[in-house]
């Protein structure tokens, strides 16, 4: 395989990893605070359609990206009110969020189907972006790709080194103790949930603004669920989320590449199964045997909390 094939392929891997990375990093923060939000798929779809609609109506990519994040956060607020204030079951509420999000996004997107928008502008540094190999590989992505890459160390630092991150982890590991030494568990979880929603919205916005600058119903195609699996795969650590996102981006691209090349004598649907099967296999490897001990889910993950007042 020559460089002329390999470099575009690697660039596509980074691109297809980005929506997974954004959504999974958001969910990682949510889960570290002790909340399990299964509604990523719904938040990504609503983020995608709101970003796309804003792009179509205003032509401003900045506004479009912000609209995607805001839409994801707005939907996650619904989840927050139900699970944090009203102490509803987190699994059921997350599923409801996904079902609701699929319907809502289809409804909003009805008038926008089939009209492409210009893709997000890509970085173009004079001289640097035109370098032979490094230029294409490192300096020609759009802003959301770089944002995802920057958020990985930022979140890693936040969780491991900052005071706020320490409090967030305390809330996720021992909600009662955190509460009794005076931290507002519910408020901290709200902030985490909103952050996760905004990140999912950005992941969706990336799909409809950059990856395929189009709105198609259900265009996330299970990416929200794969992002959830990534968090488990990463054992709740940001850098491993990045590695996992690239791995899954690679699987997706390889599958598309093989489908396109037509070299394998199997139906295209067999190849399309690969990312989903890979998710199951990876989850199995991570959850079983020798690795199980290292899988440190936050102790309070998914447990309802209501201070006795």
Binding mask 223-262 for another protein (x = CB under 8 A): --x--xx--x------------------------------
Residues paired with residue 142 on neighbouring β-strands, in sequence order: 122
Binding mask 258-297 for another protein (x = CB under 8 A): ---------x-xx-xx--xx-xx--xx--xxx--x-----
Binding mask 65-94 for another protein (x = CB under 8 A): -------------x--xx---xxxx-xxx-
Are residues 217 and 113 in contact, defined by beta-carbon separation less than 8 angstroms?
yes
User: Two tokens at 230?
Assistant: 């990534």
| 167 is a site residue for another protein (CB under 8 A) | no
Distance between CA atoms of 294 and 26, rounded to whole angstroms? 21
Which residue stretch of 3-11, 55-63, 169-177, 221-229 sits at the interface with another protein (rule: CB under 8 A)? 221-229
- Closest separation between CB of residue 186 and another protein, Å? 12
Distance between CA atoms of 61 and 54, rounded to whole angstroms? 8
State the burial class of residue 126 (Cβ atoms within 10 Å of its Cβ: 0-12, 13-18, 19+): exposed
User: Two tokens at 288?
Assistant: 């079983």
- Closest separation between CB of residue 118 and another protein, Å? 26
Q: Residue 237 phi/psi, 5° resolution? A: -120, 130
Question: Which among 185, 243, 181 is positioned nearest to 20, based on CA atoms?
Answer: 243
Interface ranges with another protein (CB under 8 A): 38, 42, 78, 81-82, 86-89, 91-93, 95-97, 99-107, 110, 217, 221-222, 225, 228-229, 232, 267, 269-270, 272-273, 276-277, 279-280, 283-284, 287-289, 292, 306, 308-309
């Amino acid at each position: 395989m020559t460089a002329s094939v390999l470099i575009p392929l690697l660039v596509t891997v980074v691109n297809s990893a980005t929506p997974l990375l954004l959504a999974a990093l958001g969910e990682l923060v949510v889960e570290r605070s002790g909340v399990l939000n299964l509604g990523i798929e719904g938040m990504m779809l609503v983020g995608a359609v709101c970003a796309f609609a804003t792009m179509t109506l205003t032509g401003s990519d900045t506004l479009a990206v912000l609209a995607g994040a805001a839409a994801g956060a707005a939907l996650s607020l619904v989840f927050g009110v139900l699970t944090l204030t009203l102490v509803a079951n987190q699994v059921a509420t997350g599923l409801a969020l996904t079902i609701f999000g699929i319907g809502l996004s289809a409804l909003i997107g009805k008038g926008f189907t089939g009209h492409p928008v210009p893709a997000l502008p890509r970085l173009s540094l004079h001289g640097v972006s035109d370098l032979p190999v490094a230029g294409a590989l490192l300096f020609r992505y759009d802003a959301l790709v770089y944002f995802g890459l920057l958020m990985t160390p930022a979140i890693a630092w936040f969780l491991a080194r900052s005071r706020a991150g320490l409090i967030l982890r305390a809330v996720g590991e021992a909600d009662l103790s955190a509460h009794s030494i005076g931290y507002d568990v519910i408020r901290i979880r709200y902030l985490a949930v909103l952050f996760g929603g905004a990140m999912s919205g950005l992941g969706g916005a990336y799909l409809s603004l950059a990856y395929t600058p189009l709105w198609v119903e259900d265009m996330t195609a299970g990416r929200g669920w794969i992002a959830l699996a990534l968090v488990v795969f990463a054992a709740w650590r940001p850098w491993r989320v990045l590695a996992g996102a690239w791995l899954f981006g690679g699987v997706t691209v390889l599958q598309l590449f093989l489908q396109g090349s037509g070299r394998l004598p199997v139906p295209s649907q067999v190849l399309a199964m690969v990312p989903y099967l890979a998710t199951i296999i990876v989850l199995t490897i991570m959850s079983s045997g020798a690795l199980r001990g290292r899988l440190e889910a936050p102790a309070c993950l998914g447990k309802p909390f209501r201070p006795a007042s």
